[in-house]
């Protein structure tokens, strides 16, 4: 055999692949292989695609519809199975695979078994008890996000927070969320934030653990006990948003709230600023209506009082106050039209004036009016000095008196 390339005609990729395929099929027409199912997909065509794996290797498998229909169980990731079939090669991808004809269940895979044991243990410890789920605060003020700093999850969460509820300060604690060591990193972050909250160094409304979608193998970190413990021990309510709709992971089960996606977590956690602003506008209108109704009532009482003959004479001033009240009422209505602009000041002034004019206060003074020498109404003992002359009008006449003392008033 010569090594001169010119002397040998090269094979095409297709020809070489076909050659390998033939040998594979010839040497492995029927194999019996045991392994754990992973990445199981039930395609629309009815074919099953999955891998069989053990600690050291992975084997791609296809089970066509006709064979899949005859299987007596639905394989899931983690199921330990024995497959019977022949090896072949899929030329387009250059991958060899096993065409499985028969699949039998061989008990539960070790990983799946460990997960079930852990779930059982945590259940016994009360980690999943509904009564220990805490309510999320209605108006969060500071939210901690644990997520990959470069992923889509953090970007989505920040974006929604910015629009819905920018009032909450955001504290980001970056962490890996998949792969070896991710579980410990997330757990450490939860503990750090919980500790800062507990010592009042950084009070928090909620901790959100967020992660975008992915295959269920990527979710493994959130099935580890170290994360469960950290969430269970957290002094702050924890929202789990690890983005997997089908499989509920242990972090989801321990958390106070489980969100299907990081975006949904933010929507559940925060009120909407726009809706609240609209609500405040409605409240302002109600407040206006209520105070106007109350003013109308006062006006009506005043009118009735002024119409009583016994009061008419000595209290011409009531007519004045009535008119003024009407004026203020109109002013307030105008204010209401412009809604509540500057209403705080107006109302304060109005309240002062109304108090001094209230006919009830006048009545309490025993139906008399006392005026100073210059005709002004006496309102306070501080306005007079000993020796001043006062005129007091009562319903049946005028009394003239001289001030002799004003106990308790400093000059």
Nearest distance from residue 225's CB to other proteins, in Å?
24
What are the structure tokens assigned to 45, written together?
């065509």
Nearest-angstrom CA–CA distance, 388 and 401? 8
Instruction: Report the distance separating Cα 336 and Cα 288, nearest Å.
Output: 6
According to CB under 8 A, which residues from 276 to 315 bind other proteins?
A: 276-278, 280-281, 283-284, 286-287, 290-291, 293-295, 297-298
Q: Out of 342, 364, 365, 376, which residue is the one contacting other proteins (CB under 8 A)?
A: 342
If the CB atoms of residues 150 and 404 are measured against other proteins, the closer one turns out to be 150
Q: Contact, 311 vs 319, CB < 8 A?
A: no
CB-nearer residue toward other proteins: 86 or 213: 213
Cβ nearer to other proteins, comparing 120 with 275 = 275
Total residues interacting with other proteins, rule: CB under 8 A: 61
According to CB under 8 A, which residues from 134 to 153 bind other proteins? 138-139, 141, 144, 149-150, 152
Interface with other proteins, residue 193, by CB under 8 A: yes
Query: Which of the stretches 109-117, 156-164, 243-251, 312-320 binds other proteins when contact is defined by CB under 8 A?
Result: 156-164
Which residue, 129 or 287, is less far from other proteins as judged by CB?
287
Q: Which of 184, 340, 372, 378 binds other proteins (CB under 8 A)?
A: 340
Q: What is the residue whose two structure tokens read 């099929």? A: 25
Q: Specify the residue for token string 């799946």.
A: 112
Q: Which is nearer to other proteins, 278 or 320 (CB)?
A: 278
DSSP state of 38: E
Which residues face 42 on adjacent strands? 48
Q: Nearest to residue 255, comparing CAs of 225, 236, 222, 231?
A: 231
- Shortest gap between Cβ of 265 and other proteins (angstroms)? 16
To the nearest 10°, report the CA torsion of 328, 330, 335, 340.
70
When asked if residue 273 is in the footprint of other proteins (CB under 8 A), the reply is: yes
Q: Does 337 bind other proteins (CB under 8 A)?
A: no
Instruction: In angstroms, give the least distance from the CB of 56 to other proteins.
Output: 37
- Residue 97 host element (H or E): strand 95-108
End-to-end CA distance of the chain: 131
Nearer to other proteins, 144 or 230 (CB): 144
**For the CA atoms of the chain, what is the radius of gyration?**
42
Q: Are 183 and 222 in contact (CB under 8 A)?
A: yes
Query: Which 196-235 residues touch other proteins, going by CB under 8 A?
Result: 196, 199, 201-202
CB 215 within 8 A of CB 178: no
Where do we find the tokens 């199912």?
Answer: 37
Tokens standing for residue 24? 């594979």
CA dihedral for 164, 168, 172, 173, sign (positive or negative): negative
- Complex with other proteins: residue 161 or 259, whichever CB lies closer: 161
Candidate list 31, 118, 171, 403; residue touching other proteins; CB under 8 A: 171
Return the structure tokens found at 367: 């139906």
Enumerate binding residues for other proteins (CB under 8 A): 138-139, 141, 144, 149-150, 152, 154-155, 158-159, 161-163, 166-167, 169-174, 192-193, 195-196, 199, 201-202, 273-274, 276-278, 280-281, 283-284, 286-287, 290-291, 293-295, 297-298, 338-344, 347-348, 350-351, 354-355, 358
């Amino acid at each position: 055999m010569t090594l001169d390339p010119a002397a040998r005609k090269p094979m095409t990729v297709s020809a070489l692949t076909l050659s390998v395929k033939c040998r594979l099929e010839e040497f492995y027409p029927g194999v019996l292989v045991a392994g754990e199912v992973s990445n199981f997909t039930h395609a629309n065509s009815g074919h099953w695609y999955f891998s069989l794996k053990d600690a050291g290797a992975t084997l791609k498998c296809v089970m066509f519809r006709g064979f899949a229909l005859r299987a007596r169980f639905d394989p899931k990731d983690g199921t330990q199975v024995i497959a019977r079939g022949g090896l072949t090669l899929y030329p387009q991808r250059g991958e060899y695979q096993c065409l499985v004809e028969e699949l039998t269940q061989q008990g539960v895979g070790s990983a799946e078994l460990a997960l079930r044991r852990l779930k059982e243990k945590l259940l016994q410890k009360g980690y999943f008890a509904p009564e220990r789920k805490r309510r999320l605060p209605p108006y969060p003020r500071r939210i901690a996000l644990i997520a990959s700093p470069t992923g889509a999850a953090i970007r989505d969460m920040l974006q929604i927070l910015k629009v819905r509820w920018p009032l909450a300060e955001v504290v980001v604690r970056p962490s890996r969320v998949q792969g070896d060591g991710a579980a410990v990193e997330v757990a450490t972050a939860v503990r750090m934030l919980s500790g800062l909250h507990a010592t009042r160094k950084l009070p928090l409304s909620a901790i959100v653990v967020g992660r975008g979608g992915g295959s269920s193998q990527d979710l493994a970190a959130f099935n580890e006990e170290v994360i469960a413990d950290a969430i269970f021990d957290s002094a702050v309510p924890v929202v789990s948003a690890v983005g997997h709709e089908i499989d509920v992971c242990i972090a989801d089960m321990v958390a106070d709230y489980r969100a299907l996606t990081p975006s949904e977590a933010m929507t559940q956690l925060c009120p909407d600023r726009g809706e609240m602003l609209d609500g405040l506008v409605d409240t302002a209108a109600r407040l206006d209506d209520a105070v106007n109704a109350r003013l109308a009532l006062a006006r009506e009482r005043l009118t009735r009082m002024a119409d009583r003959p016994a009061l008419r004479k000595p209290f011409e001033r009531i007519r004045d106050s009535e008119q003024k009240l009407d004026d203020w009422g109109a002013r307030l209505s105008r204010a209401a039209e412009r809604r509540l602009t500057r209403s705080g000041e107006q109302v304060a002034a109005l309240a002062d004036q109304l108090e001094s004019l209230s006919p009830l206060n006048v009545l309490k003074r025993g139906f008399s009016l006392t005026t100073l020498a210059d005709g002004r109404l006496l309102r306070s003992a501080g306005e007079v000095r000993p020796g001043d002359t006062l005129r007091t009008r009562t319903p049946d006449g005028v009394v003239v008196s001289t001030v002799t003392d004003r106990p308790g008033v400093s000059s």
